[in-house]
């Protein structure tokens, strides 16, 4: 791809720490070596196709040489489920567990209890809901993620999905590959985005980036969040704050989910709430699958109440072959990929390396990265 | 769809003429009735699914009642090819021929010669290259289109296609519908748009709208055109003017085609020019298929020199079942749909009606609509 060098330079701009390989040398003298386990997705034949493809098992977040030359043990696997999996074998004696939302190792209370040496849970990416955060806090662990590392990636992807749904892209593409040509079958339900009402549930880092990118499309932009944005950003995007979630939702032609998965947001879009949405609403959800009631979404797509649903998040992941979202009409789903572009991988790999380096040296992480610190959850998870 | 009323209000904003049904009454008294033929796409079962779906044969651009109640004969058909087609039957005595780029009736010199009563060719949409404009000019005809009617629709669609290619959307979606899950197969070649170099060949109405929408994505934006944009717009989008086409193309990660099809641009992207592009370039072309050398594009997609190609324009249209773009790798093609959203249909139907109304009353059209006037071609086609 022509973009390789652009991606590499983006990561240099993102991570401001000094080269960790230099800083870490001091540690090499120490005998305090750690067992570090990372769980991510396997790439097989794809692993060697791109030198910047650091996010897969084979390329080990680009840290193998650095960790091993400093005496640490480093295991990377995708085998994360069931009592006999590779991850389970290392639970009793690992010190650091690195996970990723794209191929989530579910870090349950039971696993935490078994992990007697565990001190640090790092998320390569953003979103640590696959970890039982309360159990982690109770056990005195630190949980941190690479805040900001892929927010641009996800926001761009959301705008793509909005357009794919509004323009009714997929039926046209499928005509092409099936040898057909039927303009009407696409155009009878294809629209401009201009002039439509788009609401985001949550206007944190990703939601704000989405609103900024939506600005030139001349939509009516709405957002619901716990707190109002600062007036400058509100002014810049033209988005209107909606204090009442359901009041906002009832106005939306297009709804985008940009809220973390918490006890409060789990199953937030159930049958009753979906029934109150505009008939023909489009929904984009790159946040977390479990924010939706799975069957309620599938039923509303089948009835046409939801005219299109697109996202890359499912529960569980990988999605089983019989997950109803694979088969419902008017879906534009993908596996969990929006936050794991090559650019994002380079940034979150650099962020994980930076935090490990600080951990070895007994230094604090960047404050915004903490999800659980000193037994306390970050505000968005409370 | 929830967007029905939004679409209808958009068209009210677009067409500023007084309601034609009122203005046209005077004409009803006159005996000067016309035979008007429109060629567009058939909708069959889709025709009745959306009250705003005016662009299909069945819904006749929403003008049947108006034209017939004023004594005109109005024929709408999709049957446009070969000596025995419906269109051919009416060529000898029609006065006005309405065509559309989405299902183009190829108005050849031969057809123009046969059309003894023909005075006016109206394009429902934008782009009249399916008409032999020189022959039309020589025959003293007027050719006009609904300038501006779907430029927003096309620009939005281009941005969608850029993202679909950059993010490698389709392989992930196909995994979902095939029951698979393989993040690496997508993410090893998925990128952020941020930081990439995007160049548009042509920065007319559509190109400028695209640049405005690309602005918040923090790309390096380039454009090539015959003329430099006014400094205010250039400043607003941050796009840099490139006088030399090939010099610009060699810098681009992503190329978007936004130039009309003319003798100069026909086959512009041939084997030699494509060979000079960056390896791994992405190309979006919603302009016209014939700007590309069909086989050269297919070969470069197969070799990987072009890493992705997306567009909705082909030559000829409908695309035959054996068109190579249907089968080349990394394509994100659709039939010709980007400019025929429901919103666009309402606008170009209103624009055609407005021009017919002015024609009946002997009034001029909006100046920017003329493609051939008094035997002279509009500047972009010269």
Reported as a single tens digit per residue, the pLDDT across B206-239 is: 999 999 999 999 999 999 999 999 999 899 999 9
Residues of chain B contacting residue A157, judged by C-beta atoms under 8 Å apart: 163, 167
Max CA-CA distance within chain A?
A: 71
Alpha-carbon distance of A38 to A91, in angstroms, equals 11
B161-182 pLDDT, tens digit per residue, is 999 999 999 999 999 999 999 9
| Mean residue pLDDT across chain A | 93
Task: Give dist(CA A234, CA A231) in Å, integer.
Answer: 5
Q: In whole angstroms, give the CA distance from residue B55 to residue A121.
A: 57
- For residue B11, pLDDT beyond 70: no
pLDDT band at B18 (very low <50, low <70, confident <90, very high): very low
Q: Which of B3, B167, B181 sits opposite A160 (nearest CB)?
A: B167
- More confident position, A32 or A238: A238
Q: Is B337 assigned a ligand-binding role in the annotation?
A: yes
Q: How much is the pLDDT for B16?
A: 44
Report residue A192: phi and psi, to 5°. Answer: -80, 150
Query: Under an 8 A CB cutoff, do B175 and A55 touch?
Result: no
Residue A29: band (very low, low, confident or very high) from pLDDT cuts 50, 70, 90: very low
| Contact (Cβ atoms closer than 8 angstroms) between residue B139 and residue A135 | no
Structure tokens at B275: 């060979």
Q: List Cβ neighbours of B49 (8 Å cut-off, separation of 6 or more).
A: A188, A189
Q: Do B183 and A102 touch (CB under 8 A)?
A: yes
In tens, the pLDDT along A304-337 reads 999 999 999 999 999 999 999 999 999 999 999 9
Question: DSSP 3-state assignment of A12?
Answer: helix
The 10s digit of each residue's pLDDT in B292-318 is 999 999 999 999 999 999 999 999 999
What is the structure's pLDDT at B29?
Answer: 33
Q: What average pLDDT does range B149-155 have in this prediction?
A: 98
Interchain proximity B280–A1, CB inside 8 Å = yes
pLDDT at A19 over 90: no
- For residue B373, what pLDDT is reported? 94
Q: How close, in Å, is residue B382 to chain A by CA atoms?
A: 30
pLDDT for residue A17 is more than 50? no
Clarify whether B150 is annotated catalytic. Answer: yes
CA count, 13 A, side-chain hemisphere, A118:
28
Q: Which residue has the tokens 């930076």?
A: A354
Helix residue spans in chain B (DSSP H): 4-14, 20-23, 25-28, 64-69, 86-90, 109-114, 133-138, 151-166, 169-177, 183-187, 205-214, 231-237, 245-249, 271-275, 294-303, 342-360
Here the tokens at position A30 are 């120490």
pLDDT digits (tens, 9 = 90+) for A36-66: 999 999 999 999 999 999 999 999 999 999 9
Compare CB distances from A217 to B49, B156, B340 and report the shortest one's residue. B156
Residues 6+ apart with CB under 8 A from B39: B76, B77, B78, B80, B87, B97, B98, B99, B100, B103, B105
Q: Is the pLDDT of residue B13 over 60?
A: no
How far apart CA B207 and CA B154 sit, in angstroms, is: 9
Report field, pTM of the whole predicted structure over 0.95: no
Rounded percentage of chain B residues whose pLDDT exceeds 70: 92
Tell me how far the alpha carbon of residue A64 is from its chain's centroid. 24
CB neighbour list of residue A170: distance below 8 Å, 6 or more residues apart: A164, A332, B173
Q: Measured between beta carbons, which residues in chain A are less than 8 angstroms from residue B168?
A: 337
pLDDT, tens digit (0-9, with 9 covering 90-100), for A148-205: 999 999 999 999 999 999 999 999 999 999 999 999 999 999 999 999 999 999 999 9
Tokens of residue A213, six digits: 């990118």
pLDDT of residue B17: 44
């Amino acid at each position: 791809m022509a973009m390789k060098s652009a991606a590499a330079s983006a990561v240099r701009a993102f991570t401001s720490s000094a080269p960790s390989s230099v800083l870490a040398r001091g540690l090499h003298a120490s005998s305090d070596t750690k067992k570090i386990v990372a769980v991510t997705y396997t790439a097989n034949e794809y692993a060697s196709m791109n030198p910047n493809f650091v996010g897969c098992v084979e390329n080990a977040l680009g840290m193998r040489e650095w960790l091993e030359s400093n005496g640490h043990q480093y295991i990377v696997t995708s085998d994360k489920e069931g009592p006999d999996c590779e991850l389970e074998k290392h639970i009793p004696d690992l010190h650091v567990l690195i996970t990723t939302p794209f191929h989530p190792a579910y870090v349950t209370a039971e696993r935490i209890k078994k992990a007697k040496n565990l001190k640090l849970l790092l998320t390569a990416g953003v979103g640590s809901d696959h970890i039982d955060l309360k159990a982690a806090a109770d056990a005195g662990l630190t949980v941190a993620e690479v805040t900001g590392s892929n927010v641009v990636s996800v926001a761009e992807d959301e705008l793509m999905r909005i357009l794919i749904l509004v323009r009714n892209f997929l039926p046209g593409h499928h005509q092409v590959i099936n040898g057909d040509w039927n303009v009407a079958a696409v155009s009878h339900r294809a629209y401009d985005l201009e002039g439509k009402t788009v609401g985001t549930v949550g206007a944190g880092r990703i939601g704000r980036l989405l609103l900024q990118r939506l600005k030139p499309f001349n939509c009516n932009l709405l957002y619901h969040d716990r707190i109002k944005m600062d007036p400058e950003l509100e002014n810049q995007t033209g988005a209107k704050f909606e204090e009442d979630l359901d009041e906002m939702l009832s106005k939306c032609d297009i709804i985008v989910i940009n809220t973390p998965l918490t006890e409060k947001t789990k199953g937030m879009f159930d049958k009753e709430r979906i029934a109150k949405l505009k008939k023909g609403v489009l929904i984009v959800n790159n946040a977390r699958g479990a924010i939706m009631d799975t069957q309620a979404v599938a039923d509303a797509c089948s009835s046409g109440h939801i005219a299109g649903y697109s996202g890359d998040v499912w529960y569980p992941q990988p999605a089983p072959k019989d997950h109803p979202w694979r088969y419902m009409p008017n879906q534009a789903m993908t596996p969990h990929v929006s936050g794991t572009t090559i650019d994002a991988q380079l940034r979150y790999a650099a962020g994980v390396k930076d935090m490990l380096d600080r951990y070895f040296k007994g230094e604090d992480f960047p404050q915004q990265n903490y999800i659980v610190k000193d037994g306390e959850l970050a505000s968005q998870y409370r």
